[in-house]
Amino acid sequence: MPSLIISGAARAALQSLDHDDITFLQNLPKAELHAHLHGSIPLSTLQRIATNYSPSPDIGAGVAATIARLQSNVVLTEISEFFQLFPAIYALIATPAALAEATRDVLHAFLTEQPPPSGFAHHPAPDCSYLELRSTPRKTTHMSREQYLLTVLSEIRAFPGRAALIVSVDRRMSEEDVEECVDLAIKLHQQGEPVVGLDLCGNPLEGNVDTFEKHFDRAREAGLGLTVHIAETKLNGHSIESFILLSWHPDRLGHATYLEEPQRDIFFLGDIPGTQVPQIPPPNGQVPDPIPHHHRTFYALWRKHVLLLSRRYQEAGFHIDSQDDDTGERAPREVVREIQALRDLAGKQYKPCVEICLTSNLLSKTVPRLEEHHIRHYLANNHPVVICTDDILPFRTTLLAEYALLLAKPPHGLGLSRDEVRKIAEMGMNARFMNRKQT
């Protein structure tokens, strides 16, 4: 039985709630849609797997030392100590048996009744009603990528209708590796396995996502949902990459912490509730007159953006109306794609659900304080969000504790009402990839 750990702000928020509030949160149907398998393994499970581990000769001294610490049931307190575990976790979870054991405990930690973490006295309850677990299929000396996925899926199948898998591809992967992962995801999905989506993950400052688009397109055509980690750090925020990722129109966005206003305005049409999608003016930048007041900002930004793109495109020696996308040069190709994406927007409003991981953002220091969290922007604009944990192992939280951060009164939480929290939970359930309405 995995044991749950909660610390820091999430712990303080949960502690500040009374019994009724906790029961209310426990009874809400909740979907956990952004949980990485390796980052969600309970510490007690890792310690058990480490105890039974017979080291392979090729593990380095650092990994061996970490595994020895786990074997001695060391108490970890600092976030950095948890992150230092990851090389050891990959070494420990390299066989089908260890992977199955870890996956089983992660599924139980989320989906079956768990005793409350130490210091809490609430009733045992499942942490969520539905889980989309994500993982990058890792090839090891003991298993192929396909065996990896089949091992994880064999555990997920024990929770029919309540658990599913999102296949993650890592930004640092070669195109062949991405192709192999996507081929497997599509094949398993078509065979009726609970593979429901494709994710883009990995160090946000590495890799070139440009070559991945066609593979994400293939996955969408095969019926998989798409989610991407986007604008995770300040350096990703205003970059061309966020425009490229948004132009893929993923169904959900991971974090989206540093999406800038022009990106939100252009792609989400300023998040203006209830507005009709405006007719996008032609690339000469002519703004129709008169235009409704609430479209003005959008048009102004749109115009500025298209003119900027046009200039860059022309500077690179291409004509703005050329649809030639095979110039072989990175900048012009991006520009064409962005302009096409903007044109595509004429027909539809795009409101991808944003996967919000409060504790993860606070501990990773991408958000300085809860009250400055970007969830406020999305809630104020009626933009769908889902509350998720990301990695419960290093961040020492649970989905219940993340919901406590919504309901708890300041300074422990955002102080939302029960109705607001109920609505957020519903938005999360509606954003599931399983049984989603195909668009």
Q: Which amino acid would we find at residue 66?
A: T
Nearer to Zn ion, 21 or 390 (CB): 390
Rounded distance between C-alpha atoms, residue 120 and residue 276, angstroms: 48
Rounded distance between C-alpha atoms, residue 255 and residue 177, angstroms: 25
Q: In this structure, are residues 153 and 99 in contact, taking their beta carbons and an 8 Å threshold?
A: no
Q: Where are the alpha helices (DSSP H) in 316-408?
A: 330-344, 358-363, 375-380, 392-395, 399-407
Nearer to Zn ion, 310 or 389 (CB): 389
Nearer to Zn ion, 193 or 390 (CB): 390
| Interface mask toward Zn ion for 334-373; x: CB under 5 A | ----------------------------------------
Rounded distance between C-alpha atoms, residue 376 and residue 399, angstroms: 19
Q: Exposed/middle/buried for 61, CB within 10 Å: 0-12, 13-18, 19+?
A: exposed
Rounded distance between C-alpha atoms, residue 384 and residue 378, angstroms: 7
Nearer to Zn ion, 251 or 390 (CB): 390
Q: Which of 328, 392, 335 is nearest to 358 (CA)?
A: 392
Residue 422: CB minimum distance to Zn ion, A: 25
Residue 254: CB minimum distance to Zn ion, A: 5
Nearer to Zn ion, 59 or 256 (CB): 256
Residue 391: CB minimum distance to Zn ion, A: 7
Residue 168: CB minimum distance to Zn ion, A: 9
Angle at CA 174, nearest 5°, toward 172 and 178? 95
Nearer to Zn ion, 334 or 390 (CB): 390
| Interface mask toward Zn ion for 74-113; x: CB under 5 A | ----------------------------------------
Nearer to Zn ion, 299 or 395 (CB): 395
Nearer to Zn ion, 178 or 266 (CB): 178
Residue 35: CB minimum distance to Zn ion, A: 8
Q: Whole-angstrom distance between the N-terminal and C-terminal Cα of the chain?
A: 40
Count of residues near Zn ion by CB under 5 A: 1
Q: Which of 357, 355, 353, 366 is nearest to 405 (CA)?
A: 357
Cis peptide before 283 (omega within 30 of 0): no
Q: In this structure, are residues 380 and 11 in contact, taking their beta carbons and an 8 Å threshold?
A: no
Rounded distance between C-alpha atoms, residue 21 and residue 147, angstroms: 43
Nearer to Zn ion, 103 or 364 (CB): 364
Nearer to Zn ion, 201 or 401 (CB): 201
Which 369-408 positions form the footprint of Zn ion (CB under 5 A)? 390
Residue 46: CB minimum distance to Zn ion, A: 19
The backbone torsions φ and ψ at residue 387, rounded to the nearest 5 degrees and listed phi first, read: -90, 130
Q: Which amino acid would we find at residue 75?
A: V
- Position closest to Zn ion via CB: 390
Residue 388: CB minimum distance to Zn ion, A: 8
Structure tokens at 119: 């210091």
What 3-state DSSP class applies to 114? strand
Residue 110: CB minimum distance to Zn ion, A: 15
Rounded distance between C-alpha atoms, residue 354 and residue 232, angstroms: 12
Residue 360: CB minimum distance to Zn ion, A: 7
Cis peptide before 57 (omega within 30 of 0): no
Residue 355: CB minimum distance to Zn ion, A: 8
**Interface with Zn ion by CB under 5 A: which residues?**
390
